[in-house]
Chain A
Amino acid sequence: MNVAPDKKPGTVISNLSDSYRLSILIFLILALVPVFARYGAEGFILDLVNRAIILALAAIALDLILGFGGMVSFGHAAFIGIGAYITAIMVTEGFGEALIIFPIVVVVSTLFALITGIICLRTSGVYFIMITLAFGQMLFFAASSLSTYGGDDGLTIWGNVTILGSDIFADDVGIFYISLGFLIAGLFLVQTLVGSRFGRVLRAAKENETRISALGYNVLRVRLTAYVIAGVIAGIAGFLHTSQAEFVSPATMRWQHSGELIIMVALGGMGTRNGTLIGAFAYVLLIQALSDFTQDWKLIFGPLMVLAVLSKNGGIGRFFAYVKGGRNRA
């Protein structure tokens, strides 16, 4: 695998394999986190990284429609909420079997994405932002008024998700690796989609919708497909969220949470292979580190965010690529 002699920085091929290796490196480090957590590192690290993994999964899904498709959805957290609430309610009602919960989460997320997507995708720009936000808030208020299932205060689940009688979901390390597995599968899926015929049309429609429809593509249908896929992945993230936290609250789907997902995508550099992944971890870990350091962490976090997003290379992911490219050229 020595490609160094004929490697030309900036060519698509070499960037692809570089970023592919970076993905693998990130996943390897993540896979070792439970080991570090057991030997020495603080125990809450496992919980923190697990939450970051689940958020990263939702953010990767958002990147499909936002970074690659150009759809700024401010209601993406609604899908996390759908998955999280279905899981919490089913466990509460005594149906904790993952093989039953999971398909229901997928079906309901699909339906919600189809119905809201057909409406939202007729608009664009600010209107799309507002209407996705509205649908998200609708679910937020619906969940807040679910007094049987915790209402405003949220719902702590007594019992846990099981799979074929196994309690692996209740085990800290078990759920960690399950989440990581979904994250790897999610990233692989999104990357495959983006490179496919479908993804090429999606990306091109972001740049020039007129041209794409003039070629004979039904842009609405392509975008709706992406929107549904992103919704389902976020729904699965919700399922993992409840399994891991054993708690769900309406805050999961408030619009600020959708905003945080957008920040993760933007932070990492939209529409890059690893950007969103890095962005999500940077976001969660940075907040943790800064809030340990000072109570006024937002004062530092805000400007950092502005710098990252406005930097001419657009996000941390591109920044790394830039640094690496510069070194290769030197």
Chain B
Amino acid sequence: MSKEAVIVPEALLKVVDLCKNFGGLRVNADVNFDLFSGECLALIGPNGAGKTTLIHQLSGFFTPDSGTVIFDGRDITHLPVHARARLGLARSFQITSIIPSLSALENVALAVQARTNGSLRLFGIAADEKTLNDQAFEALQMVGFDKQITTIADNLSHGEKRILELAIAIAMKPKALLLDEPMAGIGKHESLRLIEILKSLKSRYPLLLVEHDMEAVFALADRVAVLVYGKIIATGTPDEVRQNAEVKAAYLGESAM
């Protein structure tokens, strides 16, 4: 079945007519976009545009009211969160989501373990498993994590936690990465470092990047989709979007240009 997906040049992640309402509030209205293999698609939009709601529907935390999400040739609209992760759709969270009491290494090892039917093994000390730890270490190196790997995650700085969360995501060896504001709450210096890390990930994984930081968006994105009041008002290359009058009016403003 995956052979067909290779022959037909299809989008890796296809979102069709996605709608989501919270009571009377229309949060996502007929959202359509494709994420192709090898690209970084940035999803931008003002606060409250429905970006995180959209990510939640892609990763399974919310069920859309209507519309379809197709990933790797498969309709995943109604799959639970863990099943989507299993298929290779990994995500990070706007608010850092790690296991505070475990070490950085164990946080990542949990992600490695998840790929290998990890919760069914009742015996043996997980923390001592070399194969898990080695792969976790590799993922931490890939994102340039430079603290002691045995540091308890809760004791890391905010920026280090964001980097740890990226390591967790790539340790899942996903087919696509959904990054929900990876730069949120990061200082200027660390944000440059994070952009470099994301650049290196970009070549390995298709990225759907939700981000407010325009510097990051224009440094990373191959294409940009602009979400305003739950609707995608423009999609195109960063330059096209930059020039789009509607986008300027709705979102970027004069000074940002």
Cβ–Cβ contact A215 & B121, under 8 A: no
Cβ–Cβ < 8 Å partners of A213 in chain B: 80-82, 85
Asked whether any CB of chain A lies closer than 8 Å to the CB of B124, the reply is yes
Report yes or no: A211 in contact with B122, Cβ–Cβ below 8 A.
no
In the bound complex, residues from chain A placing their C-beta under 8 Å from that of B85 are 213-216
B211 at the interface (CB under 8 A from A): no
Question: Contact mask B62-83 → A, CB, 8 Å, 1/0?
Answer: 0000000000000000001111
Do A216 and B172 touch (CB < 8 A)? yes
Residue B1, interface by CB 8 Å? no
B126, A199: Cβ atoms under 8 Å?
yes
**Contact across chains for A198 and B114 when beta carbons are under 8 A apart:** no
Knowing A200-B126, A204-B110, A207-B101, say if A218 contacts B119 (CB, 8 Å).
yes
**Chain B contacts of A212 at CB under 8 A?**
99, 110
Q: A219 in the interface, Cβ–Cβ < 8 Å?
A: yes
Residue A195 lies at the interface, judged by CB distance under 8 Å to chain B: yes
Distance, CA A225 to CA B122, complexed state (A): 10
Q: Please, which residues of chain A bring their CB within 8 A of the CB of B81?
A: 213-214
Distance from A193 Cβ to chain B, minimum over Cβ atoms (Å)? 6
Contacting B at CB under 8 A, from A159-209, are: 192-193, 195-201, 203-204, 207-208
Cβ–Cβ contact A214 & B122, under 8 A:
no
Chain A's nearest CB lies how many Å from the CB of B46?
Answer: 25
Q: In the bound complex, do residue B82 and residue A219 qualify as a contact, i.e. CB atoms below 8 Å apart?
A: yes
- Contact B82 A200, beta carbon cutoff 8 Å: no
Q: Which one of B99, B122, B127 contacts A193 once the chains associate, using CB atoms below 8 Å?
A: B122
Contact across chains for A204 and B119 when beta carbons are under 8 A apart: no
Q: How far is the CB of A225 from chain B (nearest CB, A)?
A: 8
A201 to B97, CA, bound (A): 15
**Interface residue tally for chain A (C-beta within 8 Å):** 26
Q: Is the CB of B126 within 8 A of A204?
A: no
Min CB gap B60→A, angstroms: 8
A-chain residues with CB within 8 Å of residue B201 when the two chains form the complex: none
CB pair A198 B168 closer than 8 Å = no
Knowing A196-B126, A214-B91 touch, does A222 contact B119 (C-beta < 8 A)? yes
Contact of B204 with A by CB under 8 A = no
Instruction: Tell me the bound Cα distance from A204 to B168 in angstroms.
Output: 14
Least Cβ distance of B225 to chain A in Å?
23
Nearest residue (CB) in B for A192 is B123
Q: Is B133 an interface residue (CB 8 A)?
A: no
A195 to B113, CA, bound (A): 14
Digitize B107-150: 1 where CB-to-A-CB distance is under 8 Å, 0 elsewhere. Answer: 00011011100111111111101000000000000000000000
| Cβ contact within 8 Å between A196 and B121 | yes
B82 and A218 contact, CB distance less than 8 A:
yes
Docked-complex contact B102 and A217, CB < 8 angstroms: no
Q: How far is the CA of A174 from the CA of B125 in the complex (A)?
A: 34
A222 to B122, CA, bound (A): 11
Which listed residue, B80, B115, B120, B127, touches A200 by the CB 8 Å rule? B127
On whether A201 and B118 interact (CB within 8 A), knowing A217-B82, A218-B82, the answer reads: yes
CA distance A218 to B82 in the complex (A): 6
B49 at the interface (CB under 8 A from A): no
Judge whether A201 and B119 touch: CB under 8 Å: yes
**Residue B100 is within 8 A (CB to CB) of chain A in the complex:** yes
Please determine whether B97 and A198 come into contact, CB atoms closer than 8 angstroms: no
Q: Is A210 an interface residue (CB 8 A)?
A: yes
CB distance from B171 to the nearest CB of A (A): 9
Interface check B59, CB cutoff 8 A: yes
Tell yes or no: B106 within 8 A of A by CB.
Answer: yes
Judge if A21 is at the interface, Cβ distance under 8 Å.
no
B248 within 8 A of A: no
Give the distance in Å from the alpha carbon of A204 to the alpha carbon of B113 in the complex: 13
* Docked-complex contact B97 and A214, CB < 8 angstroms: yes
**CB atoms of B123 and A217 under 8 A apart:** no
B90 nearest in chain A by CB position: A214
Asked, given contacts A213-B82, A214-B85, whether A196 binds B100 with beta carbons under 8 Å apart, the answer is no
Q: Is the CB of B124 within 8 A of A197?
A: yes
* Residues of chain B contacted by A195 (CB below 8 angstroms): 125-127
Residues A215 and B126 in contact, CB atoms below 8 Å apart:
no
Report chain B residues within 8 Å CB of A216.
82-83, 85-86, 114-115, 172
| Cβ A196 vs Cβ B122 within 8 A | yes
A-B contact pairs, 21 of them (CB 8 A): A195-B126, A196-B123, A197-B126, A198-B119, A200-B106, A201-B110, A204-B110, A207-B100, A207-B101, A208-B99, A210-B97, A214-B81, A214-B97, A215-B110, A215-B111, A215-B168, A216-B83, A216-B172, A217-B82, A217-B114, A219-B82
- With A192-B123, A196-B123, A201-B110 already in contact, 15 other A-B pairs whose C-beta atoms are closer than 8 Å: A195-B126, A195-B127, A197-B113, A198-B119, A200-B126, A200-B127, A204-B99, A208-B98, A211-B99, A214-B85, A215-B85, A216-B85, A216-B114, A216-B115, A216-B172
Chain B residues in the interface with A (C-beta under 8 A)? 59, 61, 80-83, 85-86, 90-91, 93, 97-102, 106, 110-111, 113-115, 118-127, 129, 168, 172
* A residues whose Cβ falls under 8 Å from a Cβ of B: 192-193, 195-201, 203-204, 207-208, 210-219, 221-222, 225
Interchain residue pairs A-B with the least CB separation, the first 6: A216-B85, A197-B121, A215-B114, A197-B126, A213-B81, A216-B114
